[in-house]
Amino acid sequence: MGDPKAFITIPRQEAGYRPLHDRIRDYGEVEQTLNSNERRKQASRCMDCGVPFCHWACPLGNKQSEWQDLLYKGKWEAAYRVLEQTCDFPEFTGRICPALCEKSCVVRLSCGDAVTIRENEAAIIEVAWREGYIRPLSIRRNGKKVAVIGSGPAGLAVANRLNRKGYEVTVIEKHEAAGGLLRYGIPNFKLLKAVIDRRITLMEQEGIRFRYSTAIPLKDRIERGKDGKFIFPTLKDAEGFDAVCLCTGAETPRDLPIEGRELKGIHFALDMLAQQNRVLAGIAFPKEQLVNAKGKRVLVIGGGDTGSDCIGTSIRQGATFVTQIEIMPQPPVGENPATPWPMYPQILKTTSSHEEGCTRRWSLTSNRFIGKNGKVCGVEVEEVEWLPSADGSRPVMKPTGRKEIIEADMVLLAMGFLRPEPMELPEGVFMAGDVASGASLVVRAMAGGRQVAEEMDRWMTQKTRIRD
């Protein structure tokens, strides 16, 4: 710990977002960066506490206090070497992690303003790329092959871990490029896709094979060949794999099957978000297939992060007005006694997209979509109250009869994703990420991927020992 008083003398400084009038004109990343001196000052605020709750809160178990100290001392490469021990892709988490660690930071408890751990992480990894600390490793192979189905953060973490242990890894992805929701969900203004490409190139240089536009029909079972290895009959070459990991995400969005659902202009959030990211990647769509908010009054149903991404995207596309509604009550501002430190606080979150201009409302349920000439033109909503349940479980919703119509030419459904149905997995087939846990976070998908890669390695090593 370089400066024992810095947490008192140096205030938290976030790099902040690009000016609003500038950022809403493009899809470039909204977050800015501090210069390296300011960044080191921010790292000095870490108290290197005896019990680092940030470490406890991070699903990856990142060793934040160790790399903060090295960063403060200007030892950027050493800081990177500590960071890479626990995190495969800090350029993703450094940009889009909700920073579970910061909510548990002891400085937050004592001074109210946590260390800027996430931004510090992003700064370390960007210097590592820029200064060439990250170079492709040459890996000694162990003769075993692994297939990873799905190239989201979970699949990429499994692939990276096992490849570095010597397995020959093939990642099979149904879309035309790697990244899962990093590429076809999260908007460019939060995560530029060149950041994913840079990592995939490194993984390819280290020997991982990516097969795109190849969907593996999981319902048809994963078969074994005569030699006991796993094969996929739909793949032309009959390659056998010693183990398989399913990292196929949670893909089914929650629907809103109320009157008028068939009207034109009602879309799932990902229909818009994935298409916008593809458009930015240079893919053209016929005009009639475009999900575009230009000149429209947009209503986003769902108050979470996906809804917030719809707001930022609608604004950039040129929506005239954006409203976001949420069925749950407005969370408290600042602190919530129900979720004290070091828990993740259930409080009002205002994102860069919210700041860009939208009306936010809470405790509203949607009763019916209203249409004109087959197109949506509004939604009847009703205020609800949430009453404590008799058994102390989830509160009970009570409609109040207070109804109104919110006018909208485009409705985006951002109400989360259904938990994938549990699958019975044959021995040698593993599962990681959202497909195993239900829709969650990038950092959790990566942590799950790392853990499952360890299990796969143990299983394959044990199997070899028994055979020998």
CA pair distance 148, 162, nearest whole angstrom? 10
Contact 174, 198 (CB under 8 A): no
The nearest distance, CB 37 to ligand SF4, in angstroms, is 22
Site track 259-298 with ligand FAD (rule: CB under 6 A), x = hit: --------------x-------------------------
* Residue 443 contacts ligand FAD per CB under 6 A: yes
* Residue 62 contacts ligand SF4 per CB under 6 A: yes
Q: Annotate 135-174 with DSSP letters as a single string.
A: -PPP----S-EEEEE--SHHHHHHHHHHHHTT-EEEEE-S
Q: Annotate 369-387 with DSSP letters as a single string.
A: EEEETTEEEEEEEEEEEEE
* Residue 229 contacts ligand SF4 per CB under 6 A: no
For residue 31, give the H/E element and its range.
none
Contact 58, 64 (CB under 8 A): yes
Nearer to ligand SF4 by Cβ, of 250 and 443: the residue is: 443
Q: Which of 411, 146, 449 is nearest to 301 (CA)?
A: 411
Nearer to ligand SF4 by Cβ, of 91 and 121: the residue is: 121
State the Cα angle at 31 between 26 and 33, rounded to 5°.
125
* Residue 96 contacts ligand SF4 per CB under 6 A: no
Site track 227-266 with ligand FAD (rule: CB under 6 A), x = hit: --------------------xxx-----------------
CA 117 from centroid of its chain's CA atoms: 17
Residue 460 touches which member of ligand SF4, ligand FAD, none, C-beta under 5-8 Å by kind: none
Site track 107-126 with ligand SF4 (rule: CB under 6 A), x = hit: ----------xx--x-----
State the Cα angle at 178 between 221 and 129, rounded to 5°.
140
The nearest distance, CB 390 to ligand FAD, in angstroms, is 34
Does the N-terminal peptide bond of residue 98 adopt cis geometry, omega within 30 degrees of 0? no
The nearest distance, CB 61 to ligand SF4, in angstroms, is 8
Residue pointed to by tokens 């399913």: 246
The DSSP code for 427 is T
The nearest distance, CB 113 to ligand FAD, in angstroms, is 22
* Residue 101 contacts ligand SF4 per CB under 6 A: yes
The single-letter code of the amino acid at 71 is L
Which tokens is 64 given? 């934040």
Contact 283, 385 (CB under 8 A): no
Nearer to ligand SF4 by Cβ, of 43 and 97: the residue is: 97
Residue pointed to by tokens 């890996």: 139
| Burial tier of 174 (Cβ tally within 10 Å: 0-12, 13-18, 19+) | middle
* Residue 439 contacts ligand SF4 per CB under 6 A: no
Residue 256 touches which member of ligand SF4, ligand FAD, none, C-beta under 5-8 Å by kind: none
* Residue 151 contacts ligand FAD per CB under 6 A: yes
Nearer to ligand SF4 by Cβ, of 92 and 417: the residue is: 92
Q: Which residues 442-461 are close enough to bind ligand SF4 by CB under 6 A?
A: 443
CA pair distance 197, 203, nearest whole angstrom? 10
The nearest distance, CB 394 to ligand FAD, in angstroms, is 23
Q: Which of 309, 326, 356, 409 binds ligand FAD (CB under 6 A)?
A: 309
Q: Which residues 157-186 are close enough to bind ligand FAD by CB under 6 A?
A: 172-175, 180-181, 185-186
Nearer to ligand SF4 by Cβ, of 214 and 351: the residue is: 351
CA pair distance 242, 256, nearest whole angstrom? 42
Residue pointed to by tokens 């109320």: 258
Phi, psi for residue 209 in degrees, rounded to 5: -100, 135
Contact 272, 385 (CB under 8 A): no
Residue 100 touches which member of ligand SF4, ligand FAD, none, C-beta under 5-8 Å by kind: ligand SF4
**Which residues of this protein are in contact with ligand SF4, per CB under 6 A?**
58, 60, 62, 64, 93, 97, 99-101, 117-118, 121, 443
**Which residues of this protein are in contact with ligand FAD, per CB under 6 A?**
96-97, 149-155, 172-175, 180-181, 185-186, 190, 215-216, 218, 247-249, 273, 305-306, 309, 433-435, 439-443, 445
